Amino acid sequence: MSLAPTGSAQLGNLRYESQLLSVWCHLGLLPAVNRARVVLPADVRFEAGPGDPAELTLDGGDGAGSGGSATVLTGQVLAVRRSHRTIEAVIGDAGRQLATSRPALTFTGQDGAAVIRALVGGAGAELSAAGPDLPLAVYVAHQGRTAAEHVAALAELAGGFAVVEADGRLAVRPRPTGPADLALLWGRELVRYEVHHSPPGPAQPVAVGFGPAGSTSEPGVLRPSHDALSNGAADPGPDALWEPSPVLRVPAAVKTATEAAAARSAASGTRLTATCFLLPAVRAGAVVEVQQVPDGLAGGPWLVTGITHQLRPDGGGSSVITAETAGAAAAAGGLLSSLVGAVGGLL
């Protein structure tokens, strides 16, 4: 099968197709910033500047599958570099807006989704989904973190992840436990496939909070407590790794964060790196499975944590996928029963 990958870039008011010399684009989960570099000949008409709207579409040349045409990035021009040979435009999406915003805000009586909506709106970005709920009594969005880092941290505590979608809007989604979005075939889309197994240690991660209240509606929810809020989990040591977080002030939040930490730990134990022909439909946050893999290799499902697309000057194209085990959230539930079993009596 012979493929002829192509690309199309809208930069300001002008669109470029056959003029593209090369394209590099990386997509990842927040706090990573989705970005692309587009190279054009120096003699083409070019009027775009930083702040102008931009859109990048790639086509792997395989219209019947995930190698077909798809918009991979919608945002704005970040920088332009000219030389006597080429024009290079760097474009980014809402992740860049969040990464350059350092809020100084305190939220009281709002849940995690409400805080995320406020942070995203304050950075001038749009939100399509605020993700799973996290009961919060107070949250301090300090300037030691960017808005992107705050949103990513809140999404992790709630058992999800944050990603900017193809249309340029941010989405916070729960970690997947269901079937794959796409099926890839070894020997067809994929030309290189590496699975790295590194099981987590015996100590289970335990989110630990601070607060004497049973719910966020109680009057004393903001009162400091002398004892850590661990919901009866094992003391820190060989079997339990405590991860303190002052933002967790009620048992329900500690339970959610502990389940999320266990799921992340389980997922990170098996990781994938794969090289494919250009697959514009695959994005960070998607779930893929790989069929007919050689014996001894796991086929997934995989949660894509990053993907790098390239269109080369020789006309070739490729995508490199990095991923981790998907569905680990469900598998981790059984491991947590002894850690969070005491929560029911405290709610």
Residue 128 pLDDT exceeds 90:
yes
For the cut 80, the answer to whether the pLDDT of residue 334 exceeds it is no
Instruction: Tell me the backbone φ, ψ of residue 285, rounded to 5 degrees.
Output: 95, -15
Average per-residue pLDDT in the chain? Answer: 89
How confident is residue 338, by pLDDT bands cut at 50, 70 and 90? very low
Q: How much is the pLDDT for 15?
A: 97
Q: Distance between CA 61 and CA 67 in Å, rounded? A: 6
- CB neighbourhood size of 174 (10 A): 16
Instruction: Write out pLDDT tens, residues 246-287.
Output: 899 888 999 999 999 989 988 988 999 999 999 999 999 999
Amino acid at 214: G
Which pLDDT score, from 0 to 100, does residue 336 have?
46
Contact between 10 and 53 under an 8 Å Cβ cutoff? The reply is yes
What is the helix, strand, coil percentage profile of the chain, to 5? 20, 35, 45
CB atoms within 10 A of CB 62: 21
How many Cβ atoms from other residues are within 10 Å of residue 229's Cβ?
Answer: 22
Which of left, alpha, beta for 105 (phi over 0: left; psi -120 to 50: alpha)?
beta
How confident is the model at residue 65, as a pLDDT?
65
> Tokens 């303190």 — which residue?
244
Question: Which range among 93-107, 121-135, 216-230, 242-256 shows the weakest confidence by mean pLDDT?
Answer: 216-230
Worst-scoring range by mean pLDDT, 60-74, 81-95, 172-186, 280-294?
A: 60-74
- With a cut of 90, say whether residue 169 has pLDDT above it: yes
Please write the tens of the pLDDT for every residue from 319-328: 999 999 997 5
pLDDT tens-digit profile of 175-197? Answer: 988 789 999 999 888 999 999 99
Q: What is the pLDDT of residue 329?
A: 54
List, in order, residues 6 or more apart from 262 with CB less than 8 Å away: 204, 205, 332, 335, 336, 339
> pLDDT-based confidence at 214, cuts 50/70/90?
confident
Query: Is the per-residue pLDDT at 330 higher than 60?
Result: no
Residue 35 bridge partners (DSSP): 26, 92
- Give the model's pLDDT for residue 211: 83
Residue 103 has pLDDT above 70, yes or no: yes
Question: What does the pLDDT read at residue 40?
Answer: 97
Task: Answer for the pair 137, 250: CB distance below 8 angstroms, yes or no.
Answer: yes
Q: Which of 34-43, 78-87, 295-304 has the lowest mean pLDDT?
A: 295-304
Is 237 or 341 the better-scoring residue by pLDDT? Answer: 237
Question: Domains of the chain (ranges plus CATH)?
Answer: 6-93 (2.30.300.10), 98-174 (3.55.50.10), 182-199+268-331 (2.30.300.10), 204-265 (no CATH)
Residue where the block lists tokens 């249309």:
167
Does the pLDDT of residue 233 top 50, yes or no?
Answer: yes
Whether residue 335 is predicted with pLDDT greater than 50 in this model: the reply is no
152's torsion region: left (phi>0), alpha (psi -120 to 50) or beta? alpha
pLDDT single digits (tens) 130-151: 987 899 999 999 999 999 999 9
The pLDDT, as a whole number, for residue 226 is 76
Among 12-21, 235-244, 307-316, the least confident range: 235-244
What pLDDT sits at residue 4? Answer: 86
340 band by pLDDT with thresholds 50, 70 and 90 = very low
